[in-house]
Amino acid sequence: MSNYAKPEALVSTDWVEAHAGDPSVRVVEIDVNTAAYDEGHIPGAIAWAWNSQLCDTVRRDILSPSAFEQLMMDSGIGNNTTVVLYGDNNNWFAAWAFWQMKIYGHKDVRLMNGGRKKWIAEARDLSSVTPKTTKTQYKAAQADLSLRAFLPQAQEASARSTAALVDVRSPQEFSGEILSPPGLPETCQRGGHIPTARNIPWGMACNDDGTFKSYDDLKRLYGSEGIDGSKPVVAYCRIGERSSHTWFVLKYLLGFQDVTNYDGSWTEWGNLVGAPVERGGTPAAKAA
Amino acid sequence: MKPEAYSERKIELNGWQIRLTSYKLGEQFHCTADNVSPGAWLARARGANRREAEQQALDKARKLLARAHRQAS
């Protein structure tokens, strides 16, 4: 992991196993399928549910500062705790949690490279015991909105090329052939993508074992689509979680300075009255 | 408990590519079906053996995929 721009943001499965009893480390599992944790998890790990604990459940938004602080305190996490996040789907929602923790200024948060899949494939211990946590005190920093893009920024990026737009959905979603991944609810009115966006599906950043590709492979992958860090990047997907994975790759593994996650994503843009929409693929989308 | 006999394979179901991931945990086999691209979870099932767990996951996935449709171009 040493070639990455910020290798300290990743830990290996070996590292997690070795720190199982370390009181300064809190391991948290976040899955797409929130039932996966109950089936068996890393001993000592707690779980967060992406659809109830990592978002505002009334209005569409990330956690408020006070809700974030409450989650940290309830999870036994202090401002100086090392937090290791992992989950299914190659850390899909673990990256979503990572992004929010960085927005609220948590200093030491890391992803376990390979996620739940690698841990299980390596036949490491699974536990069915939910550990008890001791409530802590936690103070969130003022939200760092330099990590987050809202609709006006996405519109400006598209209309004036102020930033490169990276659509990390599947080629079929990008082209407009389907409105959502097969089997998931269709929550937008139109299919297609934001004009000028390049399609680099999030999963292309991962190896078969769920780990991230090497720095050189990632640089080549994004560079071939003109995403080289020379201008700001806005990543988006359907609801902002796949794009937080790509946001992590671009900011922490490749070290690009100005990368934002547009979490409104296609379920915002694809429902806007009058918004410009492009349909059809790009060379990258067709090759994926 | 340690998971054993981890296995992944891809199949086509109702015209969609599906990945089946299965392993043994304790006395049961666990199987997850996802949609490969983007890899979103579709179904999860358990069984006394791998075949039974996979079949149950596939049955659930088939019902979900029946609702997915391609847009007219």
What percent of chain B has pLDDT above 90?
67
The closest of A26, A20, A130 to A77, measured between CA atoms, is A26
CATH fold label, A7-143 = Oxidized Rhodanese; domain 1 (3.40.250)
* CA-based nearest distance A76→chain B, Å: 25
Distance from C-alpha of A102 to C-alpha of A94, rounded to nearest angstrom = 12
Alpha-carbon Rg for chain A in angstroms: 18
Residues from chain A contacting residue B6 (CB–CB below 8 Å): 120-121, 123
Number of structural domains in chain B: 1
Provide the pLDDT for residue A285. Answer: 41
Q: What is the pLDDT of residues B56-69, one digit of tens each?
A: 999 999 988 887 77
> pLDDT tens digits for B41-57?
789 999 999 999 999 99
Q: Say what the pLDDT of residue A184 is.
A: 76
Q: Where in chain A is the domain with CATH 3.40.250.10?
A: 7-143, 146-287
Q: Chain B contact for A243, CB < 8 A? A: no
d(CA B56, CA B52): 6
Q: Is the pLDDT of residue B28 over 80?
A: yes
Q: Which of B2, B21, B47 is nearest to A17 (CA)?
A: B2
Among the partner-chain residues A120, A128, A279, the one whose CB lies closest to the CB of B23 is: A120
Specify whether the backbone of A210 is left (phi greater than 0), alpha (psi in -120 to 50) or beta: left
pLDDT of residue A53: 95
Please report which residue ranges of A104-207 form alpha helices under DSSP H. 115-121, 151-160, 171-175
Q: Does A205 touch chain B (CB under 8 A)?
A: no
B37, part of any domain: yes
A40 and B1 Cβ atoms separated by less than 8 Å: yes
Sign of the alpha-carbon dihedral angle for A30, A36, A42, A45: positive
Q: Contacts of residue A191 in chain B, CB cutoff 8 Å?
A: 71
Alpha helices in A108-260 (DSSP H): 115-121, 151-160, 171-175, 215-223, 242-248
Active site residue A188: no
pLDDT at A235: 98
What is the rounded CA–CA span in Å between residue A111 and residue A210? 12
Closest CA to A47 of A58, A35, A59: A35
Q: Which residues of A touch B70 (CB under 8 A)?
A: 172, 177-178
DSSP string, B27-68: TEEEEEEE-SSS--EEEEEEESSHHHHHHHHHHHHHHHHTT-
Whether the link from the prior residue into B38 is cis, omega within 30° of 0, is yes
Task: Report residue B73's pLDDT band, with 50, 70 and 90 as the boundaries.
Answer: low
Answer with the residue of higher pLDDT: B30 or B40.
B30
What pairs with residue B24 in β-bridges? B4, B29
Residue B8 lies in a domain: yes
Question: Residue A284: what pLDDT?
Answer: 45
| Residue range B6-13: mean pLDDT, rounded | 94
Counting as low any pLDDT under 50, the low residues of chain A are 283-288
- What was the pLDDT predicted at A287? 37
Strand order in the sheet with B41-47: B4-13, B16-25, B28-34, B41-47
The answer to whether residue B71 sits within a structural domain is: no
B11 within some domain: yes
Query: Both tokens of residue A134?
Result: 């001791």
Domain containing residue B15 = 4-65
Contact state of A169 with B38 under an 8 Å Cβ cutoff = yes
The CA distances from residue A56 to A91, A185, A240, B1, in Å, are 21, 20, 14, 35
Q: Contact B25/A126 with Cβ under 8 angstroms? A: yes
pTM of the model: 0.94
Nearest chain B Cα distance for residue A170, angstroms? 6
> Does B10 fall in a domain?
yes
Helix H or strand E encompassing B8: strand B4-13
Nearest to A116 by CA among A26, A33, A202: A33
In CATH terms, A146-287 corresponds, of 3.40.50.150, 3.40.50.620, 3.30.700.30, 3.40.250.10, to: 3.40.250.10
In a domain, B72, yes or no: no
For residue B36, the model assigns a pLDDT of 78
pLDDT in tens, A172-191: 899 999 898 877 777 899 99
Helix (H, G, I), strand (E, B) or coil at A92: helix
Tens of pLDDT, residues A121-156: 999 999 999 999 999 999 999 999 999 999 999 999
